[in-house]
Amino acid sequence: MSDSNENTTIKSVIFDFGKVLVNWDPAAPLLSRYSDELINQFLDDSVSGFWTSNQITDKGSSIKDMIARTYKEHGQLMGEMMEWYHAHFADSLVGVVPGARQLIEDLKAAGIHVYGLSNWSPENFPLVWEKFDILHSLEDKVVSGYIDMVKPDREIFDFALNKFGATAEESVFIDDKPENVAAAAALGIHGIQQTTPQHVREELVALGVGIPAVQEA
C-alpha cells in the first residue's frame, strides 16, 4: 500500500510489533489443553469476544475485568479459556519475525530512524519487552495501553509522530493489519502492510530508502 514518490526523502520507519517484529500466536497457549475446534471458537470474536477484549485491554483496561466480562457475556467455557490464555500469555510469544532484525540493521546503517508503534496491554507488554531484544534496538516506542489510545485511531499516530519528532510525509509505517496501514496513509504517512520480508523490503526500496534490495537469481 505504499505510494512511491521519487521526491520524497524517508527519514523514519515506524514498526508495529506483533507479527511485524515479533511473532504472536494467540492459539499457542491453548494447544494441548483445548481441541482445535474449541481454539477456533475462542478465536472467533462472535463466540468469545476475544478480539474485542484485546482491543479493550490494549487501551489500558484491566485484564481481570475483561475476563470477568467474558464469563458474564460469553459463558463459562469461553471465560475459562480467556483466563487460561492470559495466565499463559508468554507462550503466545513464539519468536522474532524472520528478516526483521536484518531490516532494522540495514535501516540504521542507511541513517534511517527506527521506532515502534504497537497495541499492547500494559499488563502483558512487560513480558514482550523482556523477551525480545529486537525491540530494544528501536530508538523509541509508543505502546497503546500506557496512553489510553489505540490503532487505528488517528490520535495515536499524531501522538507517535510528535513523540518521535517525525513528520508524516517523511515516515513509513509498517503493520500487518490493513486497517492500521490505511489509517496511517490517511494522515499522509507512507503505509506498508506486512506480508513477507521480501515485500516489505521491496516497498521500502521503491520509496527511495537506501537499503540493499532483494537479490534475485
SS3 for 98-162, per residue?
Answer: CCHHHHHHHHHHCCCEEEEEECCCCCCHHHHHHHCHHHHHCCEEEEHHHCCCCCCCHHHHHHHHH
3-state SS class at 97: coil
CA 172 – CA 2 distance, rounded (Å): 8
- Grid coordinates in use for 57? 485491554
Residue 2 binned pLDDT confidence (cut-offs 50, 70, 90): very low
Are 152 and 55 within 8 A, CB to CB?
no
Query: What percent of the chain is predicted at pLDDT more than 70?
Result: 96
CA 106 – CA 94 distance, rounded (Å): 24
Contacts of 73 (CB under 8 A, 6+ apart): 49
Beta bridge partners of 192: 174
Q: Tell me, what's the pLDDT at 1?
A: 47
Assign domain 12-21+97-206 to its CATH superfamily.
Answer: HAD superfamily/HAD-like (3.40.50.1000)
Type of residue found at 102:
Q
pTM: 0.92
Are 85 and 109 within 8 A, CB to CB?
no
Residue 92 DSSP one-character state: G
Q: Tell me, what's the pLDDT at 80?
A: 97
Q: Tell me, what's the pLDDT at 8?
A: 57
Q: Tell me, what's the pLDDT at 217?
A: 86
| Residue 74, φ and ψ in degrees, nearest 5 | -125, 5
Q: Tell me, what's the pLDDT at 5?
A: 41
Mean of the pLDDT values across residues 27-42?
A: 97
3-state SS class at 83: helix
Domains of the chain, by residue range, sit at 12-21+97-206, 28-93
Q: Tell me, what's the pLDDT at 106?
A: 97
CA of 18: how far to CAs of 1, 21, 37, 74, 205, in Å?
19, 6, 24, 26, 23
Q: Tell me, what's the pLDDT at 3?
A: 45
